[in-house]
Copies of this chain bind each other. A is one copy, B any other.
Amino acid sequence: MQRAIALIQCPDQTGLIARITALVAHLGGNIIAADQHTTAAEGGLFFMRLEFTFDPSRSPRQELESSFSRLAHEIRAQWQLHLAGVPGKAGILVSRQTHCLADVLHRVREGLLCMDIAWVASNHEQARSLAGHYGAPFHLLPAEGKALQEAAILELAKGTDFLVLARYMQVLSAPFLKAYGRDIINIHHSFLPGFKGASPYQQAWDRGVKVIGATAHFVTEDLDEGPIIEQRVQRVSHRDSPEDLKRKGRDLEQQALAEALLAYTEHRVFRHGVRTVVFD
């Protein structure tokens, strides 16, 4: 028996759950978990995540795919089918600060995040030994010029399924995003939409907020405006200097990124417009 995960997103219509679950039953699948969400406010969008076991000798993956494809056509759905436990290939970009990278690498080694780290790349040397310790190939990006850097990343990114910006302090250009065309997950060190752009902890300190945050989101052409996957927050006080905010925020960054990657690699995240559906 194998375990598969199906993601379906389509206009809301009567009888959707019955049709989809009937298909799985028809294929001999046994549903382990089913989540769905319907949003009225946006004109009726339906989202479903199904986790089910199936017997590949009876229903080979190809048959699953063609069955889902047929149904998806009828209900005008976007869909994906994943085998559980098959790790996606990720490239990780990082600058000087390595705490998020260290945390992700350790979680992957401990089996807490199901993803293959194809490589770690950086415009700085700090991450090299850490990547080495965890057996991830390290690439130093060219220092001279954004175009060269992005060309290098694009070359590295060829075999990847998604990219992770684990405190990568460069803004990726619109042409790069278009060329890559797959998901890129960034960790921003503020509670978005507050404090976009540079030095968010200094901004937060200047404003005198009593709670700070970190935001993991998909990268889009609009800086710090992409769909939010996860946010973490923590209380601060007048005692905290801008440096204290950085130190406290560092933990929030790790937590938000780790939680976002967990949801993403377990295929629990849907994007639609600037919003996301993240099943528990």
Contacts and interface: CB of A to CB of B under 8 A. Distances in A.
A228 B255 contact: no
A210 B230 contact: yes
Interface string A12-55: 00111110011011000011111011111100000000000000
Interface in A185-213: 191-195, 205-211, 213
Nearest to A225: B207
A274 B211 contact: no
Contact of A133 (B25, B129, B277, B278): B129
A208 B274 CA distance: 7
A208 B239 CA distance: 24
A182 interface: no
A106 interface: yes
Contacts of A102: 102, 106
A14 B30 contact: yes
A33 B38 contact: yes
A20 to B, nearest CB: 9
Contact of A278 (B98, B130, B238, B247): B238
A144 interface: no
A272 B31 CA distance: 22
Given A133-B133, A211-B231, A235-B235, 4 more contacts: A17-B17, A32-B38, A191-B191, A208-B227
Contacts of A194: 191-194
Of the listed residues A15, A36, A206, the one surrounded by the most CB atoms of chain B closer than 10 A to its CB is A15
A38 B274 CA distance: 32
Contacts of A24: 18
A25, A130, A255: residue with the most chain B Cβ atoms closer than 10 Å: A25
Nearest to A22: B18
A21 B17 CA distance: 7
A110 interface: yes
Contact of A241 (B41, B130, B231): B41
22 contacts: A14-B30, A15-B25, A18-B21, A18-B24, A32-B38, A41-B242, A99-B110, A102-B106, A103-B103, A112-B247, A112-B250, A133-B133, A191-B191, A191-B194, A192-B194, A192-B207, A193-B209, A206-B274, A207-B275, A208-B227, A208-B228, A208-B275
